[in-house]
Amino acid sequence: MSAYHEVILKPISEIAKYIQNLIPVNIPETYTLKTMFENMANEEDIRKGVVAFRDFICIFCERLISDGLLYAKPPTKPSGMADYPFLNNVTNLLVEIGYHGKLVKNNNSLLITELPLCIAKVEGNGKKKPPKIPVSGQIECFRFLTLCGFILDGIDLDSKKLNISEAQPLEVSYPNNPILLTGLKALSIADIELRKGRRYWNDHNLLRCDYRLLKARRYGHNRSIE
């Protein structure tokens, strides 16, 4: 029987600075996108949206540094030095918003009619499976996103407990730079449909703003070049 070894969590501000170091400083102004994105929006808007989302992640990190203690509550027995469930929940929520949201109003809003990770499911044996993003943490994730500049129409952020199935449809906007929503959608599609392996915040394409997943591959000299 192995004894439990206490894990000392790093401060959330240090984690935010770690994420900042993952953000690409320079993103090319022009690159060819994979054909799967050609019907989502025009290429120039997608590329501009990715840069806008990169800028948002910088704001996200600054908010974690200044206000993270109010949102990123540590677990009772952390499994690692960076084990903040809030970070996993909020990144998964961003992907949900981007992937399931429909661009409306000249691409200035995302209309959302489903957020599967926020809803409990009933399995084939009749057993109820809790939502991937716990109900207890959903409202805090939405509140943090509004702190970072998002506007959420359809959610009462003053409520103590959120029933996301009753709140839908939702309309999400980002008035400071609406083109961000196009970048979020493209990056979320890439994360859901193109990434390999388990999604966790410290290896998350979205937080790293990994635009390379969107790029078409060019072939030459018997090898592929990203």
Q: What is the 3-state secondary structure (H, E, C) of 155-168?
A: CCCCCCCCCHHHHC
**Residue 204 located in a structural domain:** yes
Q: Residue 3: inside a domain, yes or no?
A: no
Region 3-18: mean pLDDT is: 81
Q: Is residue 4 part of a domain?
A: no
| Residue 6 within a domain | no
Answer whether residue 64 is part of any domain.
yes
Query: Tens digit of pLDDT for each residue in 137-192?
Result: 899 999 999 999 999 998 888 887 777 876 778 999 999 999 999 999 999 999 88
Instruction: Assign 130 a pLDDT band (cuts: 50, 70, 90).
Output: confident
Are 194 and 213 within 8 A, CB to CB? yes
Instruction: Report yes or no on 24 lying in a domain.
Output: yes
Q: Does a structural domain hold residue 106? A: yes
Q: Is residue 2 part of a domain?
A: no
Kindly give the interhelix angle for 180-193 and 43-67, rounded to the nearest 10 degrees: 90
For residues 117 and 221, which has the higher predicted lDDT (pLDDT)?
Answer: 117
Give the model confidence (pLDDT) of 56-95 as tens digits: 999 999 999 999 999 998 888 888 878 889 999 999 999 9
Provide the residue range defining the domain that includes 183. 12-225
**Into how many domains does the chain fold?**
1
Look at residue 220 in the predicted model and tell me its pLDDT: 44
| Local confidence band at 218 (pLDDT 50, 70, 90 cut-offs) | low
Q: What is the pTM of this model?
A: 0.88
Q: Tell me, what's the pLDDT at 1?
A: 44
